[in-house]
Amino acid sequence: MSQENEHVKCLIIGSGPAGYTAAIYAARADLRPVLYTGIVPGGQLTQTTDVENFPGYPDGVQGQQMMEDFRKQAERFGTDIRFGYITSVDFSGDVHKVVVDGEKTVTAETVIIATGATAKWLGLESEQKYNGFGVSACAVCDGFFFRKQDVAIVGAGDTAAEEATYLAKLANKVHMLVRRDDFRASKAMQHRVLNTPNIEIHYSTEAKEIVGDGQNVTGVLVYNNQTLEEKLIPVTGFFVAIGHKPNTELFQDILDMDTNGYLITKSGSTRTNIDGVFACGDVQDHIYRQAVTAAGSGCMAALEAERYLAAKEHAIA
């Protein structure tokens, strides 16, 4: 049975670039934020090796190290960072309630949601084995490492088409694996892919196994689901572009979401449909999905939480 034994001004759920940045700003505004990390402290970036596109790291940085730097900075300003998982929420009253690890109830005047999103994977064992060593779910993040090399990308929607054309500018050749005999992408995106000379489309083709030398990817074993023929395509990079799943199950039927489960925020804001509840980072951004944009929206969420509390205190006074 949960016991209500703590009240905070600002509660942050999630610990990626958005959550930690929100914590830095909230702490500097003297909101004394409490941050619960979730199951994966640091979020998706901790699954990444080199990060070379975040400002302030001219020589690049390991994703795990960057999140450690964010955490230390948030703590330096007084953020109370705790390892824990929010198991339920109640946003029905003026004061918001959350239950941590099914046991402890915390009430909060403001809540900043930064639970992020999780890349959808194919489910291959070799996919996880080489994740960060040739396997990636973000062409914009990692395409640079495969300049003038041959790569493969899995997917048939607009995101896959966009990432394939992005990779084509860097790579020698892009093998696009499309499971069906046609694209799901919009006509405009299909046209762009079909008119990019170094993209080879493999229709009715699925990845059976990612092949490597024990350290890095060296190829992908594919099979044609029409003819059942198998073949090995030599590549050094393997990109998965079959979508992301926002971590929003906790907020079903409570916060407004789009058809894919991303939290909906007011235009130009991080405000949700419930006063005092804000959302930032990949949990509400299905367009950019970059560490720097997540951090920017984390800053916005903290500033809006601060203004919300100031307006509330002024109204009471």
Residues 71 and 50 grouped into a single domain = yes
**Which of helix, strand or coil describes residue 251?**
helix
Single residue among 206, 240, 274 that ends a domain in this structure: 240
Task: Tell me how many domains the chain contains.
Answer: 2
Residues 48 and 137 grouped into a single domain = no
**CA dist list (Å): 206 to 18, 197, 228, 234:** 35, 22, 10, 15
Residues 297 and 223 grouped into a single domain = no
Residues 28 and 89 grouped into a single domain = yes
Find the CATH number of the domain harbouring 175. 3.50.50.60
Residues 280 and 169 grouped into a single domain = no
pLDDT 10s digits, 174-202: 999 999 998 888 898 899 999 999 999 99
Q: Which residues of 259-271 are buried (b: 16+ CB within 10 A; e: fewer)?
A: eebbbebeeeebb
| 10 counts as catalytic | no
Structural domain containing residue 28: 3-118+244-316
Q: Hey, what are 253's tokens?
A: 């039927």
Single residue among 179, 214, 240 that ends a domain in this structure: 240
| 150 counts as catalytic | no
pLDDT for the residue numbered 182? 86
pLDDT for the residue numbered 47? 67
pTM assigned to the model: 0.81
Spatial distance between the Cα atoms of 156 and 211, rounded to a whole number of angstroms: 22
Instruction: State the catalytic residue, choosing from 141, 150, 282, 285.
Output: 141
**CA dist list (Å): 95 to 10, 113, 128, 131, 276:** 11, 15, 41, 42, 9
Outline where DSSP puts E strands in 225-295.
230-234, 237-240, 244-246, 277-279
Spatial distance between the Cα atoms of 244 and 287, rounded to a whole number of angstroms: 11
Residues 33 and 8 sit within 8 Å (Cβ to Cβ): yes
Instruction: State the catalytic residue, choosing from 50, 69, 80, 138.
Output: 138
Residues 192 and 283 grouped into a single domain = no
Residues 8 and 112 grouped into a single domain = yes
Single residue among 205, 240, 275 that ends a domain in this structure: 240
Residues 29 and 53 grouped into a single domain = yes
Q: What is the pLDDT along the chain (317 residues), one digit of tens a residue?
A: 445 579 999 999 999 999 999 999 999 999 999 999 987 777 777 766 678 889 999 999 988 899 999 999 999 999 999 999 999 999 998 899 999 999 999 999 999 999 999 888 999 999 999 998 999 998 988 999 999 999 999 999 888 998 999 999 999 999 999 999 988 888 988 999 999 999 999 999 999 999 999 999 999 999 999 999 999 999 999 999 998 899 999 999 999 999 999 999 999 999 999 999 999 999 999 888 899 999 999 999 999 999 999 998 877 65
pLDDT for the residue numbered 3? 53
pLDDT for the residue numbered 251? 97
Residues 229 and 259 grouped into a single domain = no
